[in-house]
Amino acid sequence: MAKHDIRMDQSLRDLGKVDVVLHVVIDGAKRGELHVSKGGVDWWPRSSKHIKHTWSWSRLADVLEEGPRRRV
């Protein structure tokens, strides 16, 4: 099983103009960054400067409520 650490020291607050950035590190290797903002969520894969995956809050809610998809 992969070893990962998740750390965040943040009190409850409204998001302003600056994104909250979570660095995702698994087994000591950076996998990407998750940027959370008022407008939605962006996933930046490691070593990517131009390509990101963007979801609005309503789209993210739809995806999470659908649940996992079965692979056939």
Question: In 3D, which of 47, 5, 57, 56 has the Cα closest to residue 27?
Answer: 5
Strands (E), the chain: 20-26, 29-36, 40-45, 53-56
Task: Identify any residues that bridge with 22 across adjacent strands, giving them in sequence order.
Answer: 34
Cα 2 to Cα 24: distance, rounded to the nearest angstrom:
12
Full-model pTM: 0.74
Structure tokens at 44: 């930046």
pLDDT one digit per residue (tens) for the chain, 72 residues? 777 777 777 777 787 778 888 888 888 888 999 999 988 999 999 888 889 999 999 999 998 898 777 766
